[in-house]
Structure formats: structure tokens, C-alpha cells
Structure 1
Amino acid sequence: MLEAIRSRAQGIFAWVIVGLITIPFALWGINNYFREGGEALAASVNGEEITTREFRAAFQRYTQQLRFLMGEGFSEKMLDDPATKQRVLDGLIEQRLVLDAADELGLGMSDSELSKVIHNNEAFQDETGQFDFQRYESVLNSQGLTPAAYEARLRLSLLSEQLASTLQLSAFATQQEMEDIARLRHQEREIGYSIVPLSKFRDAIQISDEELRQYYEDHPDEFRTPEQVTVDYLRLTAESLTADIPVDEQTLRDLYEESKDQFGAPEQRRASHILIQVPQEGDEAARQAAREKADQALKRLQQGEPFEELAKEVSEDPGSAQQGGDLGFFGRGVMDPAFEEAVFSLEKVGDLSEPVLTKFGYHIIQLTGIQRGETPSFEEVREELAQKYRQQLAEEHFYEQAEILDNLTYENPFTLEVAAEALELPIKTSKPFSQRGGSGIGANPKVVTAAFSEEVLQEEMNSRTLELGPNDLVVLRVKKHFPADIEPFEQAREKIQETLTLERAKAKAQERGDALVERLQQGESPETVFAGEETWNEKKFYGRRSEDIPREVLNMAYGLPHPQSESPVFAGQPLGAGDYAVVGLYTVKDGDLNQLDEKARQSLAQEMEQMHGQVAYQGFIDELRAEAEIKIYRDNL
């Protein structure tokens, strides 16, 4: 398959390099690729090692993403699953496979293309739409990323898109597929329905005390409380030390003078280029031929031909040729050194360079814009300086206090008070939590593991110093232990009352709904059947995405068989909240591809081609995985 992809890739990604392969490992976050003596492995892919440190970092990123997406609904229990760990490891394995495939195909992402993607991201732009490096750093910091790590991950993401795009070139939707999808996607169904509400029966349900007690005795597991603990703990963070650090004005001014160049927005330049490639395996003759072609292009520019039009005609960089060679604004340290030097040596907008040789080939560069760097005043950056100064001193102080914390809690294993007094830290107490976790500090798996360890729980000693995150340490000891037990009946009464009431109300709603459906199926009209308390929603056509009908009812109707005669199909079904739906399906009207406008047809074709491309990409990854030598060390996960 690689050979087939390679043939399709020729001329498509011409001005891309295997930058992802050759960037320093430290930028990609795999600086531990070369193992330090004896570091455990999570897996290996064709002999390339994935360390447990990499796996833990990836798992932590996954945890943070899940926590962000789920909000208050997040629980550490979601992570306590071998399948979750395998999913994270599979992602790392796929990264290795993609990198190897890219290496063999000669694909990659150039620095200029990467820079353009970053600069065009609105999240990193100021109010005027210009790239703001300080905002860029701030956004990444909020996600726990450095620019280097983010850019490396972005490279990998874009590289995966390149592979998927290459595969998608051969993906197309046939006319028959289009007609079949249109028939189903744009199908409409004529539906009538009624909802039998649970609330109609709930208030009439009476549960005796005897029934409550019988349920309690018959279902002891429902009222079993797990073993729990509360812990006292000391927590030391660098952040908590920051506010106590005084800063005098002269210190800040000295820092400003020493580092004001770092605060200034660096000069950025905008350039367009025409690239004439030099074959990687080319000899001197090939290089000379490329140079002559570049000289000819420069001559045409000097004779007055528009740069943009000539770039579209002769440039061999598909990433920028159709934009007239435009590379957007960029600063130093982004482009190839020779390319960068040429751009920043041009004096004024409109100037042209001589042909510049880089590893991509010969470039003719036109300077199209200059954004001068500006240094902010001391007053503008004073608070930022103060914050950085405090952070630096806080981190230094943190490491000193961390050593004291570790020593004193170890030397005094049956109390936290000695360390608390020495470090002036408050002893805090958690809420109860079980071995499945809890809230607050009890949600952290390291805390849970330590609290229920034999040393801490049985021997009543302090835990070792736990690192919850960067510059965030905790030492704990069990304050109170709650053995597993059965909740007393009086505490469980209200819950049992609710359970039985809901159960019986659902049964009443279903009984009523089933009776209504039976009458409809026997030939009575909805007008007759629903002449009493319930309301019948008259039949009308609904599409698959209609919003003026309950989603569960719509899904139910689209799951019913087509009417075989003029008689409608009636059915009933309990809904998620306990209500009961009675649904009638009268007519099914299939969608017609010929009735769609051109925009809808194009959208459908594009969607199907993307779907085929995704299937092809996943098949490609599966094939790579099947052919690779992969070892997984599950005991180390």
C-alpha cells in the first residue's frame, strides 16, 4: 500500500519535508525516546521503544481532556479500566506507525506551513487579527503545553491529515451509493403519536412500611456502603508560596532592563516565494538545471511580470503556489536559516532576492510586508515581571520546603503536626472517600492508593510524599476509617420509597400504553382511542433531523417497518424517563437524489468521499499495525 500512496503523493506534497521525523525529539515530547538506564517500557514498535514515562504523560493528557469535556460529571472511575489504558497506548503506537510511514513516503510538514497554520488560528490572534505570541504562550500554558510540545503535536496531526488526504484522492462516491444514501438520509415519515406521562400515575402510588422493609431485606447489596476513610493532609504548592514573596520597585526595573528584549514583539516579515526543487538524489547537473530555471524566473520578474502570476505558473511548492507564493508573516527561527537570512536582509517591501539554495531547492523571494517589533514600557509589563519574579523565587523556595516536608514527615511518621508547624502549613481534612475515589483530594488516584495502603491504613503512618502535579506535593495520614457496612433502614427509607414509586408508576404507564396500542391495532381510530385523557398528535411528515417531535419518538418511528397496506403501523414503547410513547406510522416517503439542489448533492458527495477516505485511512493504519512488530508490556501500564 505504501507504494500506491507514494505514487499518488508525487507532486502533491512536493514542498514538504520529513520535518516531523527530523525535528529534535525533545520538541515532540519524546525526549525519553533514548531510555535512561533501565527505564521500563510500555511497548515497542518495530524496535522503537515507547517508555512508561511517555505513556504516563499521554495518559495524563487524556485525563485532562476528559476532565475538561465532562466537567462536574468527570470521575476517576472512568479511567479505572484496562480498555482506557489500551486506548491511550494505541494512540502512541499509531503515532509511531504514522511517523514510519511518513518517513518511507517522504511526507512531512515544512516549518513555513506549520507557522502559517499557527498564525491563522484565531485563538492566537489579538483584536486586530494579528498573531500575538504572548497570547499564544498564554493559551498553551492554560492547557499545560509548551510551544515546542504543541508545535510537535500539531505537526503530527497535520501529517496524519496529509496521509488521510492522500488516501482520499482515490475515494469517490458512485451514483448508486449517492442514490441509496439520499433515499435514506432524506426520507420522511408520516407519524402520529401520543405520550402517556409517568406523572399521571405517580401521585396515586402508595407504598406500605411493610413493603419498604421487605425491599430493604431483599436487596441488601443496594444499601451496602463501601469501606471509606477521611485523611488529614499537608499540601505544598509553589503557587501557594507566590503571594508571600515581596517585590521592590528597583528589583523589577533591573529585571526589565535585563530582559526587556524578551517582552518586545519581535519583528515579523511577510514574504512570497517561487520554489524550484532540486531532486534529493540529484547530481550536480540536476542542481545546475534547477538554478538555471530559477534564474530565468528571476529575469522574468525583473522584466516586470507580476510575482503572484509567475508563482502560480512555475513554483513547485503546492502549499503556496496557488496563493501566489504567499507565506504570510513570520519571525526569526521559523524558516530554513538560509531562507530566513535572505528575507531579513531585504531592505524594503517589493525587493527581490537572488536565488537562495535551501534543502528544498532554489527560492526567489519577494518581501511583501514588515511588522516592526515594539518594546513595551516598564509600566506595561510591570505586573508580568512581578509575577515571573515571584514564580521563580517561589519555585526555589518550594524545593527547599519540599525537602523539609519529606524529611519531617518521614522522621515523625505518626504525626503531621511537626511538619505543619515548621512549614506553617494548615492540616486539612478530606471528605470521606472509598477505594473508587471521591471528591476533592479524594478524587486523585495517588491519594486513594496511598490512603488504603497497609502502611497508612493499618499501621497508621504518614504516607510518603505524593507528587500530584508539577510543584504540587501532598503527605497524608488516615484520620478516620469507616469499614464497609449496610446503610440503616431509616436512612435508606426515602431511597426505597422513590425506587418503588418509580417502578410501579412506570408499570402503570406501560399498562395504560399497551392497552391503547392494542385498541389501535384492532382497528379503532386514534380519534376514538384518544378521546379521553391522553392527547393524540395528528399525523404529519417528519425528517430524520426534525426537531419538533421528541427525539425518542422519532427514533422509534424510524425503527418501525414500512406499512404494507393503507393501514398504519402502531406500536408502543417505554421512554427513558418512564413515560410511554404510542406511535403510528402511516406513510414512508423516500428521499430522491434528483430532488436535491446542486449544493446539497455536492455536500452529500463530499461527505461520502470523506467517509470512504476515513475508512481507507483506518484500513491503512490497520495494515501498518498488522505488518509491524509490536510488543506490549501490560504489567508496566
Structure 2
Amino acid sequence: MLESIRKHTKWVMGLLFLLIIPSFILVGIDRNYFGGGSPVVARVDGKDITQADWDNAHRMESDRIRAQSPDIDAKLLDSPQARYATLERLVRDSVLQAAAQKMHLLTSDARLARELQSIPQIAALKRPDGTLDTEAYRALAGAQGLTPEGLEARIRHDISVSQVMGSVMASAFAGPTESKQALDAIFQRREIQVARFNASDFASRVQVSDADLQAYYQAHPAKFQQPEQASVEYVVLDLDAVKAGISVSEDDLRTYYKENLSRLAGNEERRASHILISAAKDAPAAEREKAKARAEELLAELRKAPGRFAELAKKDSQDPGSAAAGGDLGFFARGAMVKPFEDTVFAMKKGDISDVVETDFGYHIIMLTDIKTPRQPTFEELRPSLEAELKQQQAQRKFAEVAETFANAVYEQADSLQPVAEKLKLKIHTATGVTRTPAAGAQGPLANPRFLEALFQPDSLQNKRNTEAVEIGSSMLAAGRVTAYQPALTVPLDQAREKVRALFVADKSAELARKEGEARLEAWKADPAAASGLSGAVTVSRDQLQNQPRAVVDGALHAPVDKLPSWVGVDLSGQGYAVVKVNRVVAREAVDEATARMERQQYLQAWGMAEMQAYYELLKQRFKVEIKVPRPAAQDGA
């Protein structure tokens, strides 16, 4: 058979071609054939945002936050809420980009140039002659992982997108009268008395029968659903795990110490004095030439009598901050002064007097008066930090290699995590009650939607095979396997009886409390003098609840006050019912003009933000935004 196939290879290939191509035409080519199988998590204007897009964006956002705040708890960045916030930003960026394209909001070269010049880090790269230091500019862009062209394209894009919302914010308007009316309503206070009808006080009145429990159980099946859940085990590969397998030799440590001693010791500082002849960078050329000539005259005097530097600085320097001290600027390190001044100072020897140095402030004559070299710490003093730093660097370089080993091991020996754990010295973690969505307070892999999705794949559930290596964070991979699985089910009444009874009693108690409160409300409206059980009068407002439930305060502030006293009933949901008596409206205390002006500005900003949000919601409808991932529940205390 095989010999026949080899003899007729061309015929076989032709037959396969005829069979396969029509199947693609009829069924369609699945994106997974080409490695594009990342699930779609959102869609904007017909364009997909995939799980891979989301993961990359969150990784970049996490790296940016870590760079700005190195001490931040990594768990905060990996929470479901933080990841969902990244997805929302990704969707928002896509919406604004689509809007900018549809509105033809382009950024001209002149506008881009102005924007670049307004960025301090770029403005500092200008040479004295006004040209840009292109190498430094390229290094600045490279530090952000971009080429200069890429940086400019990103800024051009940001400008275009900002115009979408900028025009809405700029058009927001609120006059003094409407601002005052709104602020007075927001800060209004009302004197109230409250009668509470707590559900717990009515629990003893509830009669419970087996028929009641049966009926309640059948009427509320969703309350007794137990979601599918799994018992799992998993391993995590991160930089700490890689570091644990790295040992650093004494020779490597001493070499690293010698190579980095200057950095580890700290920055050299220099003390200088200067004489400044001021000339603004945008001053007429003749004025700058005159200032330069005066500086040259002073320099000539100093060449003849260097000891007169302090005397001439007090007399002729136009720097008010240092002239009285003989031009002394104290000690400073690199980065503290403008570049031409700094370059000159750090190229001088102690006691030297410079030539005339031009900066944007004018013309300087500089004398280097002292050099402070930091104490060089010994090898033994730095040994612990050197070892940690060197291990960290080696772990970062080695992570890709170990990650490949990890991914191969969990795939090739897919029926157990023990081999990869033993090979890479990883701990096997276990967890029970794991569901498809992250539980409140979940951490690490169990808070990662991609990892949970991999665990609940059919192959993992049915065959108890390892998941693939899933990237759950920057330099962090996880793999897991399901050890036991329980499908979703409705808990039988016999097992749920206590819960059914508690919920039934709670519902009926709240219902009795509400009926009692509503009856008292109607009676007291008809005969206010008959009201009893009211609390003492308290004055409440939106920012001063006076230990009252928010629902009570909101009900009191929404009650009509055309006729006082006013009565209102407030359903406290499962907690019971409240009857609120509004005695009077308490005028807001007058505020000074500065406070009033600040409040009006805050109100205008809030109004502008509300208009921007409304406009954004309109754009979401226009561009048919779909977010296919459910919003995670808020964390406790959030």
C-alpha cells in the first residue's frame, strides 16, 4: 500500500487537494488554523479586541505602574478589577480612535512640533544653538521601547484622540445662578425624625410550615443553585522560582562589585560659584552680544586676579540667589543644572575658572571650588545587595529558557504536574471550590480569567490533563490540572432546608415590617399628633448622615417640602422599613467668596465630566461597542 502511494505521489496530492479545498470553501477557514485563535473579549466598530490584545495591554500597563511605583503590591495589579479596568481603557481608546478617524481629526506637523517642544524632557535636549540633540532624542524614545518616528506617531495619535473629548469639555458651561441652585440642593440639610420598623423584630410572628418551605424552594430555585466547581492543583513559574535555582560564585560577585562600584557608591557632587550676566534666550541678538561682552570683560579681570571672584560676584553677578554669597551655588550632582553649565563644571579641576559659558539664562563665569567624592562601600558591606541584584539579572536573562522548559514539561507529561515541579523545584498548590470566574479575594492564577478558562476546557475537565502554560503576569507562567469536578446543580430541599427556612423567615419578616410601617405612615399623615416612637430630631445632609442609613437620608432629601412637616416611607429592603418625618429645611451656612469660587469651579468640572461621559456613551452606541467579558464583582471594602 505504502509503495503504491510512493509511486503515485502526484496523483495522491491532487486527490487530497480536490477533497480539502472544497471543504474550506463550504465550511470556512477557522482562524485557529493560522494561530489566531485568541478569543474575542470586545468589539468596537466591527473590529475585534482579543484576549491577547487585552493581556498585552495589561502587561504594559502593569509594567508602567511598577516602573513608577516599585513598591506597589503586585496582587493589586493582577486582580480581576484591575484587569477589567485595562479592558475598559482599551475599549475607550478604540472608541476615541474610531471617532477621530470618522471626524477626520488629523494632527498637523506644526501642531506636533509645538506639542513636542512643550514636553520638558524633549525641550531639555536642545543645544545652545537651538538644534535638537538627535542621539539623545533617539535614546529618549528608545527608553519607551519606540523609535523617534514611533514616538511621534503615538503623540500625533494622542493629540487627535484628545480632540474628540476636548471640544466637549471646553464647551461645558454653568452660570453663577444655576451653579448656586445646584450646589444649594447638593448641600441642603433637613431636620428629620425617624421611626424604624426592623425586620428582625417581626421574625417571631412568622409561622413556618413544610408547605411554605416547599413553595418557597420551588419559587426561588436560583437561590439554591450550586455552581460548577473544581478541585485543582497548579504550579507557578516566576522570577523568584528561577532565582531560587541560581547560585552566584564569589568571583562573579567581586567582578560585579568592581564594575558597578561607581554606581553603587553614589553620585559625585561638585561645588561651584558663578557670575551671571543675564540675557534671556529670546532677547535681541544685540542685547545678548552686549551681555557676552560684559562677561568677557569680567573674565579678563579674573584671569589677572582670580582671588577677586567672590568680590566681583557680589558686585556684578545678576543672579539674585547667589550673588550675595559671592556666587556660591553649594554642592550639586549631575542633573541639577542646565546641560552646558553642568558639562563645564564636571570637566573642570578644583580651583579652575571657566571660559564664558552660554545658557538660556545668559553668560556665566564658573569657578570650581570643591569636589565631594562619595565614600566607596566595601565589598562585604554590599555583598547581600550585590548577590540579590546579580541573581535578579541572571534570573531575568534565564527566564525565557526556563519558561520554555516549563511549557514543554507540562505538555509532554500532561497527566501530572509532579514531574515539572520536581524538575524546576516548584511548589504544587491546591485549591477547592474553584469556579469559572474569579472568586472575591482570589489571588495569583485563581484571579486570572485566562487561567480559569484553561482549567475549564473540556480536555482538562474530562481527562484531567494539564493545562498549557498560561501567562498570568509579567515574567509569570502557571499551569494547572483539575483533580475533581462537580457540575452545577440545584441543592436538594433536604440539604438546603435550613437555608430555605432562614430566607423564608427573613422575607416574611421584612414584609411584615413594611406593612406595619406603611400602616403607621398613613395614620400619622392623617393625624400627626398621634405619631409615637419617633427618634430625636437630627439634621442630615448628603455628606452628614448622622448614623442614618443612606436610604433614609436620600428619602428625606427627596421628600416634598411644600407643606411641612412632610412624611415619607423608606423601604430598607431586607432590613425593614422606616417612616421619616421632615420637620424643616435648614438653610446652608454661607461660605466665603474663595470657597464659593472653588465650589463653582468644581461644579463646572463635574458638569463637564458628566457631558463627556454622556458623549462617550453616545459614541459607544454609534460604534456598536460590545464587551463580552462580565464585569467582576467589587472587592470587599472597595
After TM superposition, the score normalised by the length of structure 1 is: 0.63
Secondary structure at 2:266's aligned position in 1?
Answer: coil
Secondary structure at 1:200's aligned position in 2?
Answer: helix
Secondary structure at 2:432's aligned position in 1?
Answer: coil
**Residue of structure 2 in register with 1:571 after alignment:** 568
Superposed CA RMSD:
5.7
Q: Does 1:607 align with 2:584?
A: no
Pairing 1:123-202 to 2, within 5 Å after superposition: 174-202=175-203
Pairing 1:510-525 to 2, within 5 Å after superposition: 510-525=514-529
Pairing 1:142-541 to 2, within 5 Å after superposition: 174-243=175-244, 245-247=246-248, 251-267=252-268, 276-278=280-282, 288=285, 291-292=288-289, 295=292, 304=316, 306-308=318-320, 332=334, 337-338=339-340, 340-342=342-344, 344=346, 354=356, 356=358, 372=372, 374-375=374-375, 377-378=377-378, 379-395=380-396, 398-438=399-439, 439=442, 441-525=445-529, 528-530=530-532, 534=533, 536-541=534-539
Amino acid at match of 2:407: D
Q: Distance in 2 between matches of 1:409 and 1:455?
A: 14
Q: 1:196 to 1:251 in 2, by over 3 A?
A: same
Secondary structure at 1:432's aligned position in 2?
Answer: strand
Amino acid at match of 1:384: S
Distance apart, 1:266 and its partner CA: 2.1
Q: Does 1:106 align with 2:115?
A: yes
Distance apart, 1:590 and its partner CA: 4.2
**Residue of structure 2 in register with 1:548 after alignment:** 546
- Post-superposition Cα deviations, 1:237-286, rounded to whole Å, max 9, x if no partner, equal 330243454456554333222211221332468999978345xxxxxxx9
Q: 1:541 to 1:436 in 2, by over 3 A?
A: closer
Q: Distance in 1 between matches of 2:240 and 2:595?
A: 54
**Residue of structure 2 in register with 1:90 after alignment:** 92
Work out the number of aligned pairs and report it.
517
Q: 1:195 to 1:79 in 2, by over 3 A?
A: farther
**Do 2:62 and 2:77's aligned partners in 1 also have CA atoms closer than 8 Å?**
no
Amino acid at match of 1:561: P
Q: 1:472 to 1:545 in 2, by over 3 A?
A: closer
**Residue of structure 1 in register with 2:57 after alignment:** 58
Q: Distance in 1 between matches of 2:539 and 2:295?
A: 65
**Do 1:352 and 1:364's aligned partners in 2 also have CA atoms closer than 8 Å?**
no
Task: Name which of structure 1's ranges 213-222 and 192-201 shifts more when overlaid on structure 2.
Answer: 213-222
Distance apart, 1:387 and its partner CA: 0.8
Q: Distance in 2 between matches of 1:617 and 1:165?
A: 9
Q: Distance in 2 between matches of 1:233 and 1:554?
A: 49
Amino acid at match of 2:575: G
Distance apart, 1:618 and its partner CA: 7.8
- Post-superposition Cα deviations, 1:536-592, rounded to whole Å, max 9, x if no partner, equal 22335444422424133222211111233xx41101111255132211122224447
Q: 1:222 to 1:77 in 2, by over 3 A?
A: farther
Distance apart, 1:210 and its partner CA: 3.4
Q: Distance in 1 between matches of 2:609 and 2:623?
A: 23
**Do 1:261 and 1:375's aligned partners in 2 also have CA atoms closer than 8 Å?**
no
Structure with bigger gyration radius: 2
Q: 1:621 to 1:471 in 2, by over 3 A?
A: closer
Give 5+ residue unaligned stretches, structure 1: 1-37, 116-145, 279-285, 312-326
Q: Distance in 1 between matches of 2:330 and 2:521?
A: 66
Secondary structure at 1:276's aligned position in 2?
Answer: coil
Distance apart, 1:385 and its partner CA: 0.9
**Do 1:343 and 1:365's aligned partners in 2 also have CA atoms closer than 8 Å?**
no
Secondary structure at 2:528's aligned position in 1?
Answer: coil
Q: Distance in 1 between matches of 2:55 and 2:557?
A: 45
**Do 1:235 and 1:473's aligned partners in 2 also have CA atoms closer than 8 Å?**
yes
Secondary structure at 1:307's aligned position in 2?
Answer: coil
**Do 2:168 and 2:611's aligned partners in 1 also have CA atoms closer than 8 Å?**
yes
Amino acid at match of 2:567: F
Distance apart, 1:479 and its partner CA: 1.8
Q: Distance in 2 between matches of 1:427 and 1:167?
A: 54
Secondary structure at 1:88's aligned position in 2?
Answer: helix
**Do 1:295 and 1:355's aligned partners in 2 also have CA atoms closer than 8 Å?**
no
Q: 1:206 to 1:109 in 2, by over 3 A?
A: farther
**Residue of structure 1 in register with 2:636 after alignment:** none
Q: 1:386 to 1:344 in 2, by over 3 A?
A: same
**Residue of structure 2 in register with 1:129 after alignment:** none
Secondary structure at 2:196's aligned position in 1?
Answer: strand
**Do 1:188 and 1:588's aligned partners in 2 also have CA atoms closer than 8 Å?**
yes
Q: Distance in 1 between matches of 2:266 and 2:82?
A: 43
Q: Distance in 1 between matches of 2:43 and 2:319?
A: 49
Q: Distance in 1 between matches of 2:540 and 2:559?
A: 14
**Do 1:290 and 1:362's aligned partners in 2 also have CA atoms closer than 8 Å?**
no
Amino acid at match of 1:600: T
Distance apart, 1:507 and its partner CA: 1.0
Q: Percent identity?
A: 27
Task: Name which of structure 1's ranges 168-177 and 406-415 shifts more when overlaid on structure 2.
Answer: 168-177
Q: 1:613 to 1:632 in 2, by over 3 A?
A: closer
Q: 1:483 to 1:574 in 2, by over 3 A?
A: same
**Residue of structure 2 in register with 1:315 after alignment:** none
Distance apart, 1:470 and its partner CA: 3.1
Distance apart, 1:192 and its partner CA: 2.1
Distance apart, 1:348 and its partner CA: 9.2
After TM superposition, the score normalised by the length of structure 2 is: 0.63
Q: Distance in 2 between matches of 1:296 and 1:50?
A: 64
Distance apart, 1:231 and its partner CA: 2.9
